[in-house]
Amino acid sequence: MDLMNVLTRLVSAFGPSGAEKEISQVIEELARPYVDEISRDTLGSLICRRKGNGPKVMFSAHMDSIGLVATHIDEKGFVHVGALGGVGAQAVLYTPVRFQNDTRGLICRDNRAELDKLKVTDLRVDIGAAGGEAAKKLVQVGDPAVYDASTYLAGDRVVSPYLDDRIACLVLLMAMEQLEETDNDLYFVFSVQEEVGTRGAKTAAWAIDPDYGIAVDVTGVDDEPGSRHTASALCGKGAAVKVMDRSLISSPALVEQLMALAAEKGIPAQRDVLQLGGTDAGPMQATRGGVTAGGISIPCRYIHTPTEMADLDDVRACADLMRAFAASKLKK
């Protein structure tokens, strides 16, 4: 698999929370050769199954992204916006964006708003319209928009919008492509609406009723400039095995199993303690009578900005560890 080619397809596909149809279709095309059946649930999560008679294992990577949604169009033609997920107003100022109909624009601000107190509701999207009527022919209230930044390599690290969580979707596809024979009943879930409350993972986990649940997602790092130890993972040090975040405390036995498996297979791995944020592992762990749950994470810098950064060696390590777990002997 050509990592950069596939990743570029994934991050370029339109798919903010609640509008994941395009990214879902891209992933279905890429996943189809590697699984026995593909379905979608009512919310739209894509569920790719490789059948087996053993324990059910659910791997979940969310395919939705954060973004903006049009809330009002003023008489000058500026599009007022709200947030889809965790959008930081200062972090996205003057970023190019595009709407689903390919209308493009630029995030600007109401100049009356103070920069140090900037809120998403102070943001506007300038789509180049001459006035309100012209703008309304291009954008309607309720239309979502996504960042329109580029994807490129900086050394061995990729810089791109929406590595959260398209790079984890890539990890699932890599593991599916390389997977050995196994008796385990495997479910590769590309969930929807994670950024607005891990909604897709809740319904998918309830329907699947897995024995094991592993969220594959990005995780915050302790090697950004001025990091204050709210995260433990480091870029370039391998797969980050989730110990805890704000959505769950991982099964200690699962953490030890993943770390031992990484050591046995020579896969670089590190423990991941994150004091902010959560993943699909939270709702998986709490579904029905409870699930043995944890996470395999890709260390990522500048999460929820239009220019996130991750190390491709960490991506490979995550795929290798995920594949090794999927092929291992598991107990129900």
Break the chain down into helix, strand, coil percent, rounded to 5.
30, 30, 40
Report pLDDT digits (tens) over 187-211.
999 999 999 999 999 999 999 999 9
Token pair recorded at residue 166: 């398209």
* Neighbour-count burial for 104-143, b at 16+ CB within 10 Å, e otherwise: ebebebeeeeeeeebebebbbbbbebeeeeebeebbeeeb
pLDDT at residue 310, as a whole number: 98
pLDDT at residue 331, as a whole number: 86
Task: Write out residues in the chain with pLDDT < 70, as ranges.
Answer: none
Q: What's domain 67-147's architecture?
A: Beta Barrel (2.40)
pLDDT at residue 194, as a whole number: 98
Q: What residue ranges do the domains of the chain occupy?
A: 3-65+161-327, 67-147
Token pair recorded at residue 125: 């999207």
pLDDT at residue 332, as a whole number: 79
Fold of 3-65+161-327: Aminopeptidase (3.40.630)
The string of DSSP codes covering 204-272 is HHHHH--SEEEEEEEE-BS-STT--SSB-B-TTS-EEEEEE-SS-B--HHHHHHHHHHHHHHT--EEEE
pLDDT at residue 180, as a whole number: 85
Instruction: List active site positions.
Output: 194
